[in-house]
Structure 1
Amino acid sequence: MSERLRPRDLAFLAEETAQTPMHNATIEIFDPGESGFDHERLMELIQDRISFVPRYRQRLQSVPGQLANPVWVDDAHFDLGYHVRRSALPRPGSLDQLRELVSRIVSRPLDRSRPLWEIYFVEGLSEGRVALLSKTHQVLVDGVETVDLGQVLLDTSPTPRSMESDDWYARRAPSPFTLLAGAVKDSLTEPDTLVDTVRTRTDAALRTAGAATANARRVANALSGRRPVRTSPISGSLSQQRRVVTVDTPLADYRTIRAAHGGTVNDVILATIAGGLRGWLMTRAESMGGIRQIRAVVPVSVIDAELEATSLGSQIAAHFVDLPILEASPVVRLHQVSYSFQAHKEAGRGVAANRLAGIAGFAPTTFHAIGSRVAAHERRSYQLSITNVPGPQSPLYAAGAEMVSSYPVPPLLPGHPLAIGVTSYNGRVFYGITADRDQMPDADLLGTCITESLDELMDASSGTRVRALRGRKRTPRSTAKKP
């Protein structure tokens, strides 16, 4: 019998609307060089390696009468050309034009009647470069049974790995009678199946009631002329359109700041985001008088046997941190962020960034997908989701073309018009900011403020002597005066 969709995955489908498409995306820019990397070579590459992620050739099949959760079945009409699409910018295409194209593509939900992924090959960028935009639904990549397709497309050298492709044939889809028989059998032999079905129906009823209540409230506010009260500048109802912002910064700057003030590169990144949010809010007409901090969820890699194991060699847990946006000093902001992670470090559960990036076959895209899943389950406990993934610090290649940058594009959850993803790769730190187009028309300004926040931390570190003698005990002077 085909594998049945788990309740937590079905929740992503149930909560998906035109305003909240539940897919992760990634922008990867490549320099083809002499490799001849084009749309045809990409098609060949995916055809050779898609067998390592068989879920990418499967679709969801519902059970008649909803007696059990849907099952994964092979797509008998699988068409690789439908999923791998070709697009272009007017030459020489700029990064701004690429971001606008990406914003429009990620605003559209995926077709549920087909395997839940798409890849766009974008030509026409300046300097002869090309970009890959991948969209993958959150139910597709769980890090347990399935990893992201991008994880198997990249190589560590310009010479592609030799990987045998399979002669794939779709298995016959189960008939309605077979689906019903399987549902009854699973309910009798596996009690969890019946529990999952009841829980799914109950959750769906609660979500429907909650959505009806929210719609009635919006209509009442509109008729009375009242505007909905916003508890945070980064909360509110979402539109169907997105705005994507990218920021490219040098990893050396974060290491310099860490050496001057202590902490980790992750602490510096979060302090940079805190400073960027502070600067962005100060440029708006909104007052910061009542806003002291923004609560963020930062999925982290941990070693915890009580959590679900992943293919990344560790588990992923939610860590909450209050970003001190009211604090004017960039150094104090950094120390406050570092302190919030101190308990996590002392518990011994954390996985070091260099160890995580050194896992064989590790790809940031999979970690971002799992981090988004963790954030979705905790969305009522925070205001902002930040996924920060340490990637490899050496070049990666696709069909011989070097990847020069990688920007995550995290999804937006209901009531959360802003999400930030960060990937460090080959000496750079890449920010991907997803914002609701209506709620945050000035999202580009937030990207500028993040860059200025990093500059502010660098200025605060230039006058600080790097702790070259860290760990050495200082001998007290005998002539020191007593207080």
Structure 2
Amino acid sequence: MSERLRPRDLAFLASESSSAPMHNATLEVFDPGDSGFDYARLTELIADRIAFVPRYRQRIQQVPGRIANPVWVDDARFDLSFHVRRSGLPRPGTIEQLRELVGRIMSRPLDLSRPLWEVYFIEGLSEGRVAILSKSHQVLVDGVETVDLGQVLLDTTPQAKDLDADDWMPRRPPTATGLAVDAVVESVRDPHTLAATTRSRAESLLRGASATRDRVGQVVNALANRRPHPESPLSAHLSEQRRFVTVRTDLEDYRRVRAVHGGSVNDVVLATVTGALRAWLMARGTPSSGMRQLKAMVPMSVIDDDLEATSLGTQITGHLVALPIGEASPVVRLHQVSYAFQAHSETGRAVAANRLAGIAGFAPTTFHALGTRVAADEVRRGFHVAVTNVPGPQFPLYAAGARMLETYPVQPLLPGQALAIGITSYDGGVYYGLTADRDALPDVQLLGQCVTEALEELVDSSSESRPRAPRGRRKPVKK
């Protein structure tokens, strides 16, 4: 019997629209060196590792009459070359051109009739580098058994691990009659199945009615020559197009700030985001006095058996944080953010960053996907932006011998939210990926610059806070 989609997964499919596709992605930049890493080698690597993520060769099959939730079935026409694609930039490709390409790829929804993922091998970057953009639907990475494909492609050494050859053959697809019979039998044996199906269909109808109400409201406003008034500059009716901005910073700067002012690296990251949003809003002409706080949903890893289990050994919960954008002092902002997370740390459920970073494979790709699932579940709590910060390994990783230099999470936009922020630390760097609606936030590039400036502001405040030698005396020179 095929595995059935859970109500939560079906909810993601029901809430998806052309303006809010529910897929995550990761952009990684590599230095091929002498490895010979190219499109053909990437295809071979994925063919070698895809057995570890069997869901990536399955598609969704509806049950006749929708008398039960859809099921996962092997894709009899699975074609790896359809999912692993080759792209390029005009040489020498710049980071701006790469961002533009990522924005366009993220704007396109996945084909629901096939396995819900794509990987792009992007050539033509300056200095001989290449990039990989891996894109997968939220229902594909459920965290219970399935991890993101990106987690299994990377190795800790330039020598790729030798794995047993995969002789996968698709199972015969179920017939429409077989699906219907299985659904009836399962409903009789397990009443929870019938209840879950009924609940899923009811939720789908409610979402459809809600979406209809939203569209009617937009039409009424347009006819009356009125524009909707979002509750913040980050709230908007989404278009079908995206922008993407990357920011690279040094992990040592965050550690330096933490050493002087206390808290955690995560606190410094969130304080940096707060300072960046404050500066960006002020540059837009939004007075800080009119909006003292922005609500952010920050998914956190915890140990809590009452929450949904994941294959990573921890659970993910949403933490609602008020980012103090109205506060002028960067140090006070940092202390306020630290205080907001103190209660979470004192619960005893919090998971240390070094434990997360030590999980086998490149787990940030999976954690970011799970974080988005949590944020989507919590969207009714009325936050303005989702911020997912995941610690990664502090040593280099490789794909078929090519060293990964940079990694940027590409988070999806939730309905009504024009910005999503993903952050990953890796090998001495902290990498920001800012996903924005193309029409609502045409100046998101400025926000990227504000991230760098906000971190510099915190670093400068840390230097000023350090004890200094009294005037007229000099520190001894070490010989």
TM over 0.5: yes
Counting only pairs closer than 5 Å after superposition, residues 276-291 of structure 1 correspond to structure 2 as 276-291=276-291
Cα deviation, 1:203-243, whole Å, max 9, x if unaligned, reads 11111111111111111100011111111111011000000
1:213 partner amino acid: R
Contact in 2 for aligned 1:107/1:240 (Cα 8 Å): yes
Q: What is the CA–CA distance in structure 1 between the aligned matches of 2:215 and 2:151, rounded to whole Å? A: 40
Q: What is the CA–CA distance in structure 2 between the aligned matches of 1:262 and 1:308, rounded to whole Å? A: 32
2:391 alignment partner in structure 1: 390
Q: What is the CA–CA distance in structure 1 between the aligned matches of 2:100 and 2:467, rounded to whole Å? A: 41
1:297 partner amino acid: M
1:62 alignment partner in structure 2: 62
Q: What is the CA–CA distance in structure 2 between the aligned matches of 1:123 and 1:205, rounded to whole Å? A: 44
2:416 partner amino acid: G
What runs of 5+ residues in structure 1 fail to find an aligned partner?
468-483
2:138 alignment partner in structure 1: 138
2:473 alignment partner in structure 1: none
Contact in 2 for aligned 1:51/1:165 (Cα 8 Å): no
1:130 partner amino acid: V
Q: What is the CA–CA distance in structure 1 between the aligned matches of 2:182 and 2:256, rounded to whole Å? A: 59
2:261 partner amino acid: H
Q: What is the CA–CA distance in structure 1 between the aligned matches of 2:140 and 2:230, rounded to whole Å? A: 33
User: Is 1:224 equivalent to 2:224 in the alignment?
Assistant: yes
Instruction: Report the RMSD for the aligned CA atoms in angstroms.
Output: 1.0
Q: What is the CA–CA distance in structure 2 between the aligned matches of 1:246 and 1:362, rounded to whole Å? A: 19
Q: What is the CA–CA distance in structure 1 between the aligned matches of 2:467 and 2:439, rounded to whole Å? A: 44
Contact in 2 for aligned 1:298/1:386 (Cα 8 Å): yes
1:264 alignment partner in structure 2: 264
- 3-state SS of 1:179 partner: helix
Q: What is the CA–CA distance in structure 1 between the aligned matches of 2:55 and 2:297, rounded to whole Å? A: 29
1:477 alignment partner in structure 2: none
Quote the offset at 1:465 in angstroms. 2.1
Contact in 2 for aligned 1:247/1:432 (Cα 8 Å): yes
Contact in 2 for aligned 1:260/1:466 (Cα 8 Å): no
1:201 alignment partner in structure 2: 201
1:387 partner amino acid: T
Q: What is the CA–CA distance in structure 2 between the aligned matches of 1:39 and 1:108, rounded to whole Å? A: 22
Comparing 374-383 and 60-69, the one that deviates more:
374-383
Q: What is the CA–CA distance in structure 2 between the aligned matches of 1:11 and 1:33, rounded to whole Å? A: 44
Q: What is the CA–CA distance in structure 1 between the aligned matches of 2:348 and 2:100, rounded to whole Å? A: 43
- 3-state SS of 2:371 partner: helix
1:310 alignment partner in structure 2: 310
Distance 1:181 1:466, change over 3 A: farther
1:19 partner amino acid: S
2:48 alignment partner in structure 1: 48
User: Is 1:123 equivalent to 2:102 in the alignment?
Assistant: no
Cα deviation, 1:64-87, whole Å, max 9, x if unaligned, reads 000000000000000000000000
User: Is 1:28 equivalent to 2:28 in the alignment?
Assistant: yes
Quote the offset at 1:457 in angstroms. 0.5
1:411 alignment partner in structure 2: 412
1:109 alignment partner in structure 2: 109
What runs of 5+ residues in structure 2 fail to find an aligned partner?
469-479
Contact in 1 for aligned 2:59/2:74 (Cα 8 Å): yes
User: Is 1:425 equivalent to 2:426 in the alignment?
Assistant: yes
Q: What is the CA–CA distance in structure 2 between the aligned matches of 1:349 and 1:362, rounded to whole Å? A: 23
Counting only pairs closer than 5 Å after superposition, residues 12-23 of structure 1 correspond to structure 2 as 12-23=12-23
2:325 alignment partner in structure 1: 325
Comparing 115-124 and 200-209, the one that deviates more:
200-209
- 3-state SS of 1:463 partner: helix
1:442 alignment partner in structure 2: 443
2:476 alignment partner in structure 1: none
Q: What is the CA–CA distance in structure 2 between the aligned matches of 1:330 and 1:359, rounded to whole Å? A: 33
Cα deviation, 1:240-293, whole Å, max 9, x if unaligned, reads 000000000000000000001000000000000000000000001333332010
Contact in 2 for aligned 1:49/1:165 (Cα 8 Å): no
1:474 alignment partner in structure 2: none
1:138 partner amino acid: Q
1:252 partner amino acid: E
Q: What is the CA–CA distance in structure 1 between the aligned matches of 2:297 and 2:36, rounded to whole Å? A: 41
Q: TM-score, normalised by structure 2?
A: 0.96
1:5 alignment partner in structure 2: 5
1:462 alignment partner in structure 2: 463
- 3-state SS of 1:263 partner: coil
Contact in 1 for aligned 2:299/2:316 (Cα 8 Å): yes
Quote the offset at 1:380 in angstroms. 2.1
Quote the offset at 1:355 in angstroms. 1.1
Q: What is the CA–CA distance in structure 1 between the aligned matches of 2:298 and 2:87, rounded to whole Å? A: 34
1:245 partner amino acid: V
Quote the offset at 1:308 in angstroms. 1.2
Q: What is the CA–CA distance in structure 1 between the aligned matches of 2:211 and 2:143, rounded to whole Å? A: 30
2:88 alignment partner in structure 1: 88
- 3-state SS of 2:140 partner: coil
Percent of aligned pairs with the same amino acid = 67
1:351 alignment partner in structure 2: 351
Quote the offset at 1:311 in angstroms. 1.3
2:149 alignment partner in structure 1: 149
Comparing 390-399 and 380-389, the one that deviates more:
380-389
Quote the offset at 1:341 in angstroms. 0.6
Q: What is the CA–CA distance in structure 2 between the aligned matches of 1:286 and 1:330, rounded to whole Å? A: 19
- 3-state SS of 2:28 partner: strand
Cα deviation, 1:284-314, whole Å, max 9, x if unaligned, reads 1333332010010110110101011111111
Distance 1:466 1:248, change over 3 A: farther
- 3-state SS of 2:337 partner: helix
- 3-state SS of 1:319 partner: strand
Quote the offset at 1:437 in angstroms. 0.5
1:462 partner amino acid: S
2:211 alignment partner in structure 1: 211
2:295 partner amino acid: R
Contact in 1 for aligned 2:150/2:362 (Cα 8 Å): no
- 3-state SS of 2:139 partner: coil
Quote the offset at 1:359 in angstroms. 2.0
Quote the offset at 1:361 in angstroms. 3.0
Alignment coverage as a number of residue pairs: 467
